[in-house]
Structure formats: C-alpha cells, structure tokens
Structure 1
Amino acid sequence: MADYGIEIIEKKIKDRLFIELSRTGLLFRLFSRIKDDISIKDKFTRKDYSNDGKLMQDLIGFRITTYFNDDLKIVVKLCEKLFGKIELVYDEPNTEVFRPLRKNMICKFPDEHSSIFSDIKISNPEYELIDNTFEIQFRTTLSEGWHEVDHLMRYKCKQDWDELTNESRMLNGIYATLETNDQALKALFDDISYHHYKSKRWEAMLRNKLRLRFALQELNSEILNYLNANAIVGKELFKINRDKIINTYIDSTLSFPTTFDNWIYFINNFFINDEFIKSITPEFLINEFDLCEKSGE
C-alpha cells in the first residue's frame, strides 16, 4: 500500500504536468501509477539494486500519450524544461535493425518533494533501495496498447519467449505496423490541411495543420474575410513549419485559450507581421506578446 506522502508527490507532479500540457493545446492523455508492494518486490528480484550502486528509479511513473507521433519530441522538450532530467532514452528508427523504440525519461523529484521522500524513507525500510526520482514514458495512442501487452506478456516473463524467435518477430512486426500507421496518420492530416488551404477553408486548414484541441468557437469574420481577399497571407499561414510554431509558443510564457483567433494572432505576431491582423489583435494579447518578446531579449 502506497505511503500517503508518496500519493501527495504523485498528485502534485501529475497536476503540474497536466496544467503545462493543457497550456500547449496539444492532443494528449496523461496516466500515472505508484508501484504497489508486490511490484516493488518483483522488481527487486529482477534487478541488482544496492545502496552503493543503482537504486530503483520508477516508484512513481507517468505516461504521456500523444495523438500524433511528431508531438512526442515536443512533449519531451517540455518535460525537460519542467523537471530535473537525469536520463533520457529516446530511440530513433534504424534502417538496418527493427526493434520497438524506447522513449523514457528519468527525472529527479522537485526539491520540495525530495524532502518529503527523505522523511518517508526513514520510516519505511522497504524504500531503502528506491531513489528520489520518477519516470515519464512517452507513447502515441496507436502504440500504447502494444506496449502494455508487450510489458505484461513478454518483458515480465522473458523466459517464456526463449525458444519463440518467430513469434517474437511477429509481435515486433505488429509494432512495426503501428509505427507505420503513426506516420501515415500524420501524413493524412497534412494532406487534409493542404486540401482545405487550397479551398480557402481557413478554420479546417488550421485545425488539421496545428492539430490542437481547439475550442468550439468560429474564426472571427474579419479575419475570415481578410484571408479570403488576401491569399498571400493565407499561404504564409499554411507554409510556416508547425513544430516551429508550437515550440515557439511552449518556449514562451504565454498561455491563452486555444481558439482559431488567438492562434492566428500569435502566428502573425511572431512569424508574419501582417499589419491588418495586428490592428485587430486584442490589446491584452498585444501586451502579452510584447512582454514575452522583451523577456526573450
């Protein structure tokens, strides 16, 4: 049974993660767990932990699943900003060898949580070989189910697979299919975005280009009419690299509702600088943009 102090640490870190991820507007799901006593003992039997060597690092674990695979690196970068990273394992695809890709980060507890954990260890000898760290795993929604099956049915009972080379390759092959589907999913929405751009359906273009959790609020009619009459501005909106847009926002101190209007105001201010769009940008956003740019000088 988890110590109440551990539950507090898990909740506070999860709350911080959720708030920061929600600020981005990205499509994601967030899961967390605390290892129970059985899981801790099981891991102690499988791993060589010691007081003068390596300690268990994942008493508390989080998993962030993104809807699109190109959001994984964006989320990893965000987590690196939020927490003290100890280790990052982020496998890149290898054209010569196929294997499931690991995307895990080990982070140190924030200082205020480390002191709580130190007190917990003093009164709980079973935590002696556990470090003041937590793990974050990064997955896509398509690969999430495969990883769950693999972890429970193969990773935790590797001896069952010793003589099953073909079956193991088949299981990996299923992952390969999901990885290909992740790439196809992104390409599909890129194509949809282009289709809507060519048809001057600006809301649909933005929705499918940026792939954010947009509020159910229509695009300002002034912006809509302006884009219809000034195709060159719409073309600039479409051509700007999505990752550059999202990372610029994440690296800033900005936080605004995920509406089509706000994102056009933001993109215009930092990338396009069209005078008409700037003239209709709400004053409070202009002030926020100015403060953000000054703080980055």
Structure 2
Amino acid sequence: MPEYALEIIEKKIKDKLVDELKRTGLLFRLFSRVKDQNSIDEKFTRKSYSADGDLMQDLIGFRITTYFSDDLKIVVELCEKLFGKIELVYDEPDTEIFRPLRKNMICKIPKEENKFFNDVKISNAHLELVDDTFEIQFRTTLSEGWHEVDHLMRYKCKPDWSGLTDESRMLNGIYATLETNDQALKALFDDISYHHYKSKKWEAMLRNKLRLRFSLDRLDSDISDYLNNNVDVGKRIFKLNRAKIINTYINSTLTFASTTFDNWVFFINYCFLKDEFITSKTPSVLIEEFDLAFN
C-alpha cells in the first residue's frame, strides 16, 4: 500500500510538471521514480538521518533533461514558480577550478498531496526519517549519461576511488568534454539560424533560433512574403534575445494550443516588434488573449 500511495503522489506531481513543460514548447525529457525499500535502506547506511535532525528529502525524485544547456535556467526558474522551493543548488562554472556542476532543487510536496503523504508516513515506520519533500535534478541530454555513471560507480562507492586521483580526474575530464559539447551544440544551432536568416528561410530561422517543439504547420505565406520584402523585420526577430522571448511567454498566462510558427511570430510581434502588417494578420482572438495576458 505505501508504495502504491507514493506512486499516486509521484504521478500527480509529474502530471503538473509535464503540463507546464509542454506549455513552454521546450525540448525536454522527464524521468521520475519513488525509492524502493532497498534504496531507502542503502541510503540510510550512507547518511546520518535522525528524527530531530536531517531527514531524507528525495524519496520521490524527478529529473528533467533539456536538449540545450541554455534551457536549464529557464526550466529551473519555471519549477521555482511552480512548487514551494526549499533549497536550490545551482553551481556556476568556475574559471579556476573544474568540477561537475550540481543543479538540484528540493521542493515541498504540494498541499493537495501533503496530507495523503503524511497519512502514509504515519502508518509506515520505515518512512519515519523521510521528509515531506521531493527532489528535482536538472541535466542536459549530453550530460545525463555521465551523471548516471558517476552516481552509481563513484558517488555510491567512494572507497573504490581512494587514491585514484588520475582516474578520478579522467572521469571529470569526460564531463568537461560533454560540457564543452553542450556549448558547441548551442553555438551550432545559433549559427544555423543565422544562415537561414541570411537566406530568408524564415521557418528554419525560427526553428533553429527558438529551438522549440514546433508543429508541422507552415508559416503563413503572407507573413513569409512580407519578411522576404522587409528583411529588416526578419533581422529584428533574429536579433531578439531568445531567453527573453521564452521567459516572457512562460511568465504570462498564455497557453498556445499548438506550437506553430504563426503563433510565435504573432506573439513576438505583439510583445517586441509592434509591426503594423503582422498585427493586421494576427487573429482577433489572439489579440484578445495577448491583451488579457499583458494588459
């Protein structure tokens, strides 16, 4: 019964996460789990938990992996707003010392599920040293595999690595390569976006600049023709800060039914460009939604 009850809580939190992440249009994958009894017992042997001290905070855990490294902060900020954050560990790169970067958040189990969780905890002695929290880890798809290997093969068996300084540095060096590749991947798609902008391939420019999960719908032909004849407008779109565009959308009440090129061009125009022709092409129902979201 306790495992089943905890899986219900996990699913409710997961559904909330998935709905909000899908709303953003970002490229991501989401993993989740509830620790089984063996994992709980194993962690109790490694950590010093006590009823009047620290409690286990990751009985329920989630991992969000983004396809691109610059999406990590966007997703972290989204989760901060979505849940009651207790602690955030978000390591920034150090110019002098290289080390793997931790990006983990501890959140309070939502109020709707908290009473259910505490009822389960009271009726199960083996959960006495477990807090009413859950953990979210943030990774990129390139670094995900490395973290799995490091956690299982080094973090959980530290004595095996005693005295193996060179080998430990080599494992960290592999992570450094992946971190560099994350940066190179983002730069590559920025470069692709620039080439498509210069070639007036507006859909390709938008896809590679925004890097969202766009639908197969084509960009409105009138808008495409307009951008062909008014390259300065296309240039203004290309020059906009991607994170600012996406955060403006996320922090609003907007929810696009579909991630189409048209919707995002209309949105970008409303918030940043104010171009009269694109405004004239924007459906009135969208104008009303934008007005409600921003005015």
User: Which TM-score band applies after superposition, normalised by the shorter structure?
Assistant: over 0.9
1:98 and 2:98 matched: yes
In the other structure, the counterpart of 1:262 is 263
CA–CA distance in 1 between the matches of 2:2 and 2:232? 58
1:188-243 Cα offsets, whole Å, 9 max, x none, are 00000001101110000000000000001111001000000111111111000000
What is the CA-CA distance between 1:293 and the residue it aligns to?
1.1
In the other structure, the counterpart of 1:5 is 5
CA RMSD after TM alignment: 0.8
Question: Which ranges in structure 2 are unaligned for 5 or more consecutive residues?
Answer: none
SS at match of 2:105: strand
Moved over 3 A (4+): none
In the other structure, the counterpart of 1:156 is 156
CA–CA distance in 2 between the matches of 1:39 and 1:246? 38
SS at match of 2:200: coil
In the other structure, the counterpart of 1:113 is 113
In the other structure, the counterpart of 2:20 is 20
In the other structure, the counterpart of 2:285 is 284
Conserved 8 A contact 2:2-2:124: no
Conserved 8 A contact 1:215-1:258: yes
SS at match of 1:3: helix
SS at match of 1:29: strand
- What does 1:37-186 correspond to in 2, within 5 Å? 37-186=37-186
1:36-85 Cα offsets, whole Å, 9 max, x none, are 00000011111011111110000000000000000000000000010000
CA–CA distance in 2 between the matches of 1:170 and 1:224? 50
1:144-166 Cα offsets, whole Å, 9 max, x none, are 00000000000000000001110
SS at match of 1:139: strand
What is the CA-CA distance between 1:283 and the residue it aligns to?
1.2
CA–CA distance in 1 between the matches of 2:291 and 2:204? 29
What is the CA-CA distance between 1:3 and the residue it aligns to?
2.2
In the other structure, the counterpart of 2:208 is 208
CA–CA distance in 1 between the matches of 2:112 and 2:129? 20
CA–CA distance in 2 between the matches of 1:284 and 1:53? 55
What is the CA-CA distance between 1:2 and the residue it aligns to?
5.1
CA–CA distance in 2 between the matches of 1:271 and 1:170? 46
CA–CA distance in 2 between the matches of 1:185 and 1:255? 28
Conserved 8 A contact 1:9-1:113: yes
Q: Percent identity?
A: 77
CA–CA distance in 1 between the matches of 2:202 and 2:121? 56
What is the CA-CA distance between 1:246 and the residue it aligns to?
0.3
TM-score (structure 2 length as normaliser): 0.99
SS at match of 1:137: strand
Give the letter aligned to residue 238 of structure 2. Answer: F
Give the letter aligned to residue 191 of structure 1. Answer: D
